[in-house]
Structure formats: structure tokens, C-alpha cells
Structure 1
Amino acid sequence: NLNNQIESINKYIFSGDFEELLKEQVKKFNKLFSSISQELYGEKYALTFKRETNKQGQEYYKFTAFNANMSSGKKQGEILCFDLAYLLFAEEEQVPCLRFLLNDKKELMHDNQLAKVADFVQSQNIQLVISILKDKLPSSVFSKAHIAVELSQKSKLFKIETR
């Protein structure tokens, strides 16, 4: 019955064996996450987790990686480092995944970080898709970027015009 299956799964995922496995996987992930964030930001970021219980008495794992006290641009950089680390982690662990990321709000990042990210994704053969205004894109990144689609007031994505 379904309830027995759920109970069996819960028993396993909150067992000591599973928690040890989770710690090992997070440790592997953090090697990549801290290495990438060090390369791109000069800081070592890390993913942490802890076991918690909700008001209904159900256990769950709470994962934390993001520092609530950082600027919005730096937060966007941390999110991007996390995404890049996961792509490389998935590849190491032979988890099927596509080698591209789709990100937004990167205009909040500093020019030097965008340039470092562009170099990093190119060196790792990762496609990074971002929507950003041309005037917010550093010229060093724009000159070597591989632009697939460029939109403007005259060149709209779906060719829909206002009447």
C-alpha cells in the first residue's frame, strides 16, 4: 500500500546511513562550489544542511547556501556559482543533464564578474543563456560573446507589433 511505501522511504532517508551518504555528496558538491566561487568571486561558498521537524512532526532536510546579508548583485553571482557547480557535479556523478544554464537578473552583477563568468563557461564548454540589456553587458564580454538572438524595439521575438 502507498502509505507503507512512503513510510519505508521516509525511514530510509532519515536513517544514519542515508545521512552519511548525503554528507559525502554535499562534500563533493562543495569542493566544486567553493572552487568556482573562489575563482569567480574570491570567496568560498558552501552548501549546508540540517535535519528539522515541521509543526506536523514530519522530518525534512533544510539546505542553505545563500547568505541573506549580501547585495543583490553578489547574490546573483552566488546563484550562478551554485548552478555551475551543480552542472559539474552532475557530470562527475554521471547524472544526465544538459550543459546549459538559463539565468536572469545578471545586470545586477559587476562587469568584472560577468567577464570572469564568460571566461569560465567558455573554458568548461557550458552554454549560459542570459537576458540582459546591451548597455549593461561589458564590452569585453560582448565582443567575445556568441549571440544567438538579439532583440530590439525594431526586431521583436514574435514579430508582434502594437497597433
Structure 2
Amino acid sequence: TEFNKYFEEISQYLYDEKYLLSYDLKTTKNNQSYYVFSTFNENLSSGKKQGEILCFDIALIKFSRDLGLAHLSFILNDKKELMDNHQLLKVATYAKENNIQLVFSMLADKIPESLNNDTNIVLRLSQVSKLFKIEE
């Protein structure tokens, strides 16, 4: 319930929708308990799912900070080119205002123009310039 306050706030900011996380407690054949988590967001588009994941990650950072729990203040994701540019711009602003570092791998032509600059991009890779300089 407490976590959902954070999840709701961030999803409202990015999508003007309130996402919630729920869980069911299940039991295996060996009588071991485990949780199955789900969200109430019924949208199945790939871009929106990526946004939902991002909302969860940001909510977890803010939740952990407020409770004094150990946490990382960065998010490492890929496939964010599936998200709408409007949400990418909003999440960049939100992350900056909340001291959260976003690390996304994206195709250069999918980065919103206003974010495609040396202030926001730390590393550019290509077929010629590879991450670990490993060649076949």
C-alpha cells in the first residue's frame, strides 16, 4: 500500500494514469510460498510496458530513500526507444529533479532531439566504436 503511493505518483506524472501494484501469495508443490506481482494497467503496448517498468523503478528508488533503505540511485534499462518521446522527455526531467541517473541504451535515431547532446549522453557506441573494444 505504501509503495503504491509512489508508483501512483510517478505513473500519474508520466502518463496521467494511476498504476497500482498487487500481489497474490501462491504455494509450490513443495509447499513453499512465493509472490506473484501484477499491475492494474491493462495496456499491453510495448512502449507503455517499458514506461510502466520505468515508473516502478523510480518508485522503488523514492520509496527506499524515504524509508532509509539501501538503494541505488540509477536505473539501467534498454528498449526505451519503444516509449513515446513525450514520456522520455518527462522522465528525463523527473529524474534530474529527483537526483536519479538514467542509463538507457538506445538507437541514436530514436533519441528525442532535445536529449541528443553531450550533456545527456555519456557514451556513444557504434559498429566501429564498441564498448569493451573487443574485436572478432
Normalising by structure 1, report the TM-score. Answer: 0.75
* Match of residue 150 from structure 1: 124
What pairs with 1:4-153 in structure 2 (closer than 5 Å)? 27-65=1-39, 67=41, 69-143=43-117, 145-153=119-127
State how many pairs are aligned: 136
Q: Which runs of 4+ in 1 moved over 6 A?
A: none
Letter in structure 1 aligned against 2:4: N
Superposed CA deviations along residues 89-139 of structure 1, whole A, max 9, x for unmatched, are: 000111111211100110110111111111111111110100001100010
Letter in structure 1 aligned against 2:100: I
Structure with greater helix share of residues: 1
Displacement, 1:141? 2.0
CA distance 1:111–1:54, shift in 2 (3 Å): same
Superposed CA deviations along residues 6-61 of structure 1, whole A, max 9, x for unmatched, are: xxxxxxxxxxxxxxxxxxxxx11111100000000111001112333333444333
RMSD of the alignment, in Å? 1.9
Unaligned runs of 5+ in 1: 1-26
CA distance 1:161–1:40, shift in 2 (3 Å): same
Structure with greater strand share of residues: 2
Normalising by structure 2, report the TM-score. Answer: 0.89
State percent identity of aligned pairs: 54
